[in-house]
């Protein structure tokens, strides 16, 4: 159904073709709605006070009363005296109870199911002709008067008004300049009627406050200071009633003069106040003073002004919405323009809708040549990722990849775009060129390694100096005391011990500072652990009884370099063994795990009641610069972690209850696939 504005213009009368249906759910009147023509506007109400109020508010139209609804006929008898100028049609059940109820005499016509489109259309056509006749009669017009033309003025005057209205209508929807629209509206009113004082009230900056946006004939200084609030006076009444307010030159009584609405209208030198209504709310108020000719306003003039005001109200809301959307668009474009990350978005047709400046710089493409193009113009695999994200809804968060072209490293995030109604809009990708970041990280790692090396060299020099002093002292005393057997035995033991210490430091330094070459093969994890314990016993003479090894009942195979992984376990075990007391021991437990590996894994747990550690020292145990309790340096744990991670595993430390150190090593199970 479409809306037709109600006004008389020239020789043709156009009106809103309104139907008020009084019915209830599941009554026969609900069936007729499917057959109503599209040029009628339908309002629905019930046979109660709300329906009566709705009946009073409509200007003209047809009232369909469903007699099967509860209380419909008594309601008709009560409501008819309020609006005898309307046309009433009864929806009956095949004439049931028609004769015994006097309310049926109030119906102009009746209609009964089954309904048809032709039947309903013919009935409404007859009823609407009667409605037009009643409207003409109420306005004091006759068909002859309408045929003869307007009662006042000449045909040329009405032709000029029609030309003014047409010009205004053409300009109404072609411009989004608010100030220009207001000026055009005021100028059109001045052409249509010789009015001395005109003012237009529109909302100003503060919420709930209206001010004079445009005026003619008022004191500019006074007009700039006037403010009108939505909670009282003229604005409140126009918003509540939504109709034209008309005040005579002289108040009918002192009480009327004291009315706040009248006071505000007189402050504006206004005889007529017309609401600017659109979409069910008050947008503004048009105030017209007395005509310069002294003649009163005619109903046809006021009706035209009311319709113009409604159209202007709609246009003002459209302009406001246009500027809001334009501001949001510029705001978003400004954000995209100044983002340090590249942004690309596509719609549901896989067309590129956003391509910011940073994206153009990273990909070395012209944004103007990319916008609205198919996503296949993007370098691989960006287009594939955008398409997959849009189609599947599976996003990506800070993933790193390299473009097939130029091997450019990027960090990307991709998301599906969804509207308010869960409708898919497309997908968006945010990405950064991380080539500079990678280079910076590489330089930082290099600097860290250099710092570690410098610090370690200083510590190493100190570590080397101590055994070298002992060796040099014994070497100087050897010629004099060579015949002393106890001296020779002590000399041999000290030199051997210090040389082993030097050899251990050199091996750890080589393993830490240089890439290791691995020779992988399938091996039982239990055998590798035992090989590591044997290595400790050979190098340090640690008693086997100091270690408790808890095997798993199954054979757990891993893909490893036996020599290097056993050395890693030896370094790790020695971290606990060199602090052991007579009452303590090192415990090693092997068990399956699946927390980190899809195909399953194996966990090795190392702990000892002699390895007590403070919580603040936990972050330092893998630091190569951290000294041990005996103030000696050791790269054992850093080298162990490096070897484990090169095997695809993980190593992490924790504190048990009581502050004892636990170190867990987790490695993937070897399933026989691959080398």
Domain with CATH 3.30.450.40 in the chain: 155-322
Give me the pLDDT at residue 396, please.
Answer: 87
Domain with CATH 3.30.450.20 in the chain: 339-433
Residue 272 has pLDDT above 90, yes or no: yes
Cα dihedral 380, 383, 385, 391, rounded to 10, equals: -150
If you average pLDDT over residues 82-92, what whole number do you get?
88
Fold classification of 521-668 is Heat Shock Protein 90 (3.30.565)
User: Cα–Cα distance between 59 and 272 in angstroms, integer?
Assistant: 20
- The H or E element containing residue 212 is strand 209-216
pLDDT per residue over 471-500, tens digit each?
A: 777 778 878 877 787 877 887 777 777 777
Residue 151 has pLDDT above 50, yes or no: no
The three-state (H, E, C) secondary structure of 269-285, written as one string? CCCEEEEEEECCEEEEE
pLDDT bucket at 141, cuts 50 / 70 / 90: very low
Residue 173 has pLDDT above 70, yes or no: no
Cβ pair 404, 386 in contact under 8 A: no
Structure tokens of 650? 């993980």
Domain with CATH 1.10.287.130 in the chain: 438-513
Cβ pair 228, 201 in contact under 8 A: yes
CATH architecture of residue range(s) 155-322: 2-Layer Sandwich (3.30)
pLDDT per residue over 341-376, tens digit each?
A: 899 999 999 999 889 888 988 888 888 888 889 988
Fold classification of 438-513 is Helix Hairpins (1.10.287)
Does domain 339-433 match CATH 3.30.450.20? yes
Highest mean pLDDT among 51-60, 175-184, 383-392, 457-466: 383-392
Give me the pLDDT at residue 249, please.
Answer: 42
* Range of lowest pLDDT (137-146, 304-313, 345-354, 611-620): 137-146
Task: Pick 7-145's CATH classification: 3.40.50.2300, 3.40.50.970, 3.10.620.30, 2.30.40.10.
Answer: 3.40.50.2300
pLDDT per residue over 587-637, tens digit each?
A: 899 999 876 666 788 999 998 877 777 777 776 777 665 655 555 666 778
Give me the pLDDT at residue 16, please.
Answer: 59
Which of the 8 DSSP states describes residue 424?
E
Q: Considering the entire predicted model, what is its pTM?
A: 0.43
Domain with CATH 3.30.565.10 in the chain: 521-668
Q: How far is CA 116 from CA 69, 109, 111, 190, in A?
A: 21, 16, 11, 50
Alpha carbon 613 to chain centroid distance?
Answer: 48
Domain with CATH 3.40.50.2300 in the chain: 7-145
Q: For residue 587, is it left (φ>0), alpha (ψ between -120 and 50) or beta?
A: beta
């Amino acid at each position: 159904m479409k809306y037709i504005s109600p006004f008389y213009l020239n020789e043709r009368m156009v009106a809103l073709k309104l139907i008020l249906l009084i019915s209830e759910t599941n009554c026969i009147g609900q069936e007729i709605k499917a057959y109503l023509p599209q040029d009628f506007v339908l309002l629905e109400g019930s046979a109660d006070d709300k329906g009566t109020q709705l009946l009073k508010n409509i200007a003209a139209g047809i009232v369909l009363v469903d007699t099967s609804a509860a209380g419909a006929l008594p309601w008709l008898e009560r409501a008819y005296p309020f609006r005898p100028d309307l046309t009433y049609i009864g929806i009956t059940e095949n004439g049931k109870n028609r004769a015994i109820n006097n309310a049926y005499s109030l119906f102009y016509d009746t209609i009964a199911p089954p309904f048809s489109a032709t039947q309903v259309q013919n009935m409404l056509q007859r009823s609407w002709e009667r409605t037009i006749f009643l409207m003409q009669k109420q306005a004091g017009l006759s068909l002859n008067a309408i045929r003869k033309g307007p009662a006042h003025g000449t045909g040329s005057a009405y032709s000029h008004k029609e030309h003014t209205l047409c010009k205004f209508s053409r300009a109404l929807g072609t411009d989004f300049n608010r100030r220009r629209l207001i000026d055009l509206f005021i100028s059109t009113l001045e052409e249509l009627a010789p009015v001395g004082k005109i003012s237009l009230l529109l909302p100003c900056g503060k919420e709930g406050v209206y001010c004079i946006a445009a005026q003619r004939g008022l004191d500019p200084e006074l007009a700039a200071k006037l403010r009108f609030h939505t909670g009282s006076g003229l604005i409140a009444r126009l918003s509540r009633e939504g109709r034209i307010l008309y005040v005579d030159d002289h108040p009918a009584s002192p009480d009327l003069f004291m009315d706040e609405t009248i006071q505000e209208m007189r402050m504006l030198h206004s005889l007529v106040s017309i609401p600017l209504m659109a979409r069910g709310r008050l947008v503004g108020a048009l105030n017209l003073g007395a005509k310069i000719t002294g003649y009163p306003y005619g109903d046809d003039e006021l009706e035209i002004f009311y319709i113009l005001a409604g159209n202007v109200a709609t246009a003002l809301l459209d302009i406001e919405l246009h500027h809001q959307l334009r501001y949001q668009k510029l705001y978003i474009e400004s954000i995209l323009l100044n983002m340090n990350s590249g942004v690309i978005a596509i719609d549901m047709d896989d067309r590129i809708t956003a391509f910011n400046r940073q994206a153009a710089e990273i990909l070395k493409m012209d944004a103007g040549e990319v916008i609205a193009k198919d996503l296949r113009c993007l370098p691989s695999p960006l287009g594939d990722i955008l398409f997959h994200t849009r189609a599947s809804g599976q996003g990506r968060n800070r993933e790193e990849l390299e473009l097939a072209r130029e091997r450019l490293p990027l960090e990307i995030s991709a998301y599906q775009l969804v509207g308010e109604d869960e409708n898919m809009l497309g997908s968006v990708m945010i990405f950064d060129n991380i080539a500079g970041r990678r280079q910076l990280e590489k330089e930082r790692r290099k600097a860290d390694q250099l710092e570690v090396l410098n610090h370690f060299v200083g510590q190493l020099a100190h570590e080397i100096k101590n055994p070298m002093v002992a060796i040099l002292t014994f070497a100087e005393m050897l010629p004099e005391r060579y015949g002393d057997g106890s001296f020779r035995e002590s000399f041999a033991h000290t030199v051997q011990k210090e040389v082993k210490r030097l050899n251990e430091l050199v091996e750890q330094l080589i393993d830490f500072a240089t890439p290791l070459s691995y020779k992988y093969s399938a091996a039982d994890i239990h055998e590798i652990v035992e090989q590591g314990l044997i290595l400790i016993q050979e190098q340090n003479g640690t008693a086997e009884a100091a270690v408790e090894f808890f095997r798993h009942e199954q054979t757990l195979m891993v893909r490893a370099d036996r020599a290097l992984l056993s050395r890693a376990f030896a370094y790790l075990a020695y971290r606990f063994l060199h602090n052991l007391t007579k009452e303590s021991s090192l415990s090693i437990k092997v068990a399956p795990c699946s927390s980190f590996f899809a195909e399953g894994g194996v966990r090795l747990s190392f702990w000892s009641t002699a390895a007590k550690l403070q919580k603040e020292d936990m972050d330092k145990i893998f630091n190569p610069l951290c000294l041990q309790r005996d103030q000696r340096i050791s790269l054992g744990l850093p080298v162990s972690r490096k070897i484990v991670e090169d095997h695809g595993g993980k190593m992490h430390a924790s504190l048990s209850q009581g502050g004892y150190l636990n170190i867990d090593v987790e490695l993937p199970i070897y399933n026989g696939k691959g080398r």
